[in-house]
């Protein structure tokens, strides 16, 4: 029975023009559902044009203003326009996918169930990474606008022909009105990527049990605070919060393994549990098949950037190619020391974890790293 069903699904997928049709969050958003009068009413409210700084979460820097580009402040109107564009399939070449098709809110803004098919012959499917806390990684040399422009044109993402996209948006009155009111210029590449980036800067996540644990570490030595009643009060608040968000004892064991015997923090460290560097973990490597890694940031060495592990339970499948389907598989993979590869990172070695250790590590990944995220309703589109 199960096999028969699978068979039907496969045939269905082959016949359907769009393999993702109506299975993803993005497919629930339809153009034309936002009336022009609503857009006009919204734009007439001065408050939506005032700059704002998004609220932070425990675990992230408490004041995010330093992470926002001074010359491109966030406003509610800009973020709302970016949200519409993010979910709008009219931004892709053939109108079949929006950013949210691959960066699906239901899967922590990552690829989710299926790994999108490669858009070029011989190009393996890639699992889209979770778009969270991107503003913490930005720098003046690598603004989010530049990466967003790449997403619009890349053959593995939207593959858009920019002049066509601009023309399509120009033809939609609700968009014309918003771009004019927010940017004061005709719709162009800069204003599109600026609105999309504004929205993505609000995709924040923090407040996991692990974050509360880390926050409490600052008070390792309460003796230092004697004579500073304000600081002691603050310490007590932080420690209370930790108690209220404590992970299970099993996950705490997993946390110790993550940092110790399992060696995960060698690469998964910092605010988002990523060192921001690229490593070869043996993924995507098929011994003997030359050029098996066309997507590696450095294809000679098969290195990929360490991803964030925030809310990792929601972002299956795993690794850039989605080749590991569950966190159990990921743990087994690391426990075996990765895969033989001439360039394998020296940090990967067989770990000798027993069943209990693996269960604890899994509990930490699931519970300890599950945080709160800025939520967003699905937009209506002009």
Of 144-152, 207-215, 228-236, 369-377, the segment contacting ligand HEC by CB under 6 A is 144-152
Query: Is the CB of 26 or the CB of 43 nearer to ligand HEC?
Result: 26
Q: Is 77 in the site for ligand HEC (CB under 6 A)?
A: no
Query: Looking at the DSSP assignment, which residues form a beta bridge with residue 372?
Result: 206
Q: Is 129 in the site for ligand HEC (CB under 6 A)?
A: yes
Among residues 158, 166, 169, 363, the one that binds ligand HEC under rule CB under 6 A: 158
Could you tell me whether strands 51-52 and 304-305 are parallel, antiparallel, or unpaired per DSSP bridges?
A: unpaired
Number of H helices, E strands in the chain: 13, 6
What Rg value do the Cα atoms of the chain yield, rounded? Answer: 23
Tokens encoding 367? 């519970």
Helix axes 76-86, 189-201, angle to 10 degrees: 100
Query: Is the CB of 211 or the CB of 272 nearer to ligand HEC?
Result: 272
Query: Is the CB of 14 or the CB of 277 nearer to ligand HEC?
Result: 277
Q: Is 318 in the site for ligand HEC (CB under 6 A)?
A: yes
- Rounded to a whole number of angstroms, the minimum distance from the CB of residue 22 to ligand HEC is 16
Q: What is the 3-state secondary structure (H, E, C) of 306-342?
A: CCCCCCHHHCCCECCCCCECCHHHHHHHHHCCCCCCC
- Rounded to a whole number of angstroms, the minimum distance from the CB of residue 121 to ligand HEC is 16
- Rounded to a whole number of angstroms, the minimum distance from the CB of residue 204 to ligand HEC is 14
Angle at 282 between CA 268 and CA 350, to 5 degrees: 70
Mark 186-225 with x for binding to ligand HEC (rule: CB under 6 A) and - for no binding: ----------x-----------------------------
Query: Is the CB of 136 or the CB of 235 nearer to ligand HEC?
Result: 136
Give the distance between the most distant pair of CA atoms in the chain. 73
Q: Is 283 in the site for ligand HEC (CB under 6 A)?
A: yes
How far is residue 347's CA from residue 360's CA, in Å, rounded to a whole number?
21
Query: Looking at the DSSP assignment, which residues form a beta bridge with residue 106?
Result: none
Of 62-70, 234-242, 245-253, 345-353, the segment contacting ligand HEC by CB under 6 A is 345-353
Q: Which residue has 């600026």 as its token pair?
A: 194
Query: Is the CB of 179 or the CB of 304 nearer to ligand HEC?
Result: 304
Tokens encoding 86? 């993010």
Q: Is 147 in the site for ligand HEC (CB under 6 A)?
A: yes
Tokens encoding 267? 């690469």
DSSP 40-74: HHHHH-GGGGSEE-----TTS-S-GGGGS-TTS-E
Residues that bind ligand HEC (CB under 6 A): 91, 97, 99, 101-103, 116, 126, 128-129, 131, 134, 147-148, 151-152, 156-158, 196, 262-264, 266-268, 279, 281, 283-284, 304, 306-307, 309, 312, 315, 318-320, 327, 330, 334, 345, 347-348, 361
């Amino acid at each position: 029975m199960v096999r028969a069903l699978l068979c039907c699904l496969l045939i269905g997928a082959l016949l359907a023009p769009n393999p993702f049709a109506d299975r993803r969050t993005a497919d629930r958003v339809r153009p034309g559902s936002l009336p022009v009068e609503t857009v006009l009413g919204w734009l007439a409210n001065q408050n939506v044009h005032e700059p704002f700084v998004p609220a932070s979460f425990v675990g992230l820097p408490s004041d995010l203003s330093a992470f926002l580009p001074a010359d491109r402040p966030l406003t509610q109107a800009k973020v709302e326009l970016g949200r519409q564009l993010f979910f709008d399939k009219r931004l892709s070449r053939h109108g079949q996918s929006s950013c949210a098709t691959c960066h699906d809110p239901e899967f922590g803004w990552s690829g989710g169930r299926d790994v999108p098919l490669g858009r070029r012959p011989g190009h393996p499917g890639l699992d889209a990474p979770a778009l969270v806390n991107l503003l913490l990684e930005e720098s003046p040399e690598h603004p989010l606008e530049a990466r967003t422009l790449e997403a619009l044109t890349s053959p593995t993402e939207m593959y858009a022909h920019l002049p066509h996209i601009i023309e399509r948006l120009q033809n939609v009155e609700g968009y014309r009105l918003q771009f004019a009111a927010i940017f004061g210029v005709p719709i162009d590449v800069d204003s599109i990527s600026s609105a999309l980036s504004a929205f993505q800067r609000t995709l924040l996540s923090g407040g996991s049990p692990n974050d509360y644990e880390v926050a409490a570490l600052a008070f390792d030595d309460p003796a230092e605070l004697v004579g500073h009643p304000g600081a002691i009060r603050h310490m007590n608040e932080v420690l209370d919060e930790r108690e209220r968000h404590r992970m299970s004892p099993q996950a705490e064991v997993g946390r110790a393994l993550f940092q110790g015997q399992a060696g995960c923090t060698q690469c998964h460290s910092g605010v988002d549990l990523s060192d921001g560097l690229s490593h070869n973990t043996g993924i995507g490597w098929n011994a003997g098949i030359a050029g098996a890694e066309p997507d590696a940031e450095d294809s000679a060495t098969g290195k990929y950037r360490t991803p964030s592990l925030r809310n990792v339970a929601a972002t299956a499948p795993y690794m850039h190619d989605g080749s590991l389907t569950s966190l159990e598989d990921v743990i087994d993979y690391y426990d075996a020391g990765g895969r033989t590869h001439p360039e394998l990172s020296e940090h990967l070695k067989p770990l000798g974890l027993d069943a209990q250790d693996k269960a604890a590590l899994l509990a930490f990944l699931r519970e300890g790293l599950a945080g709160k995220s800025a939520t967003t309703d699905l937009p209506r589109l002009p």
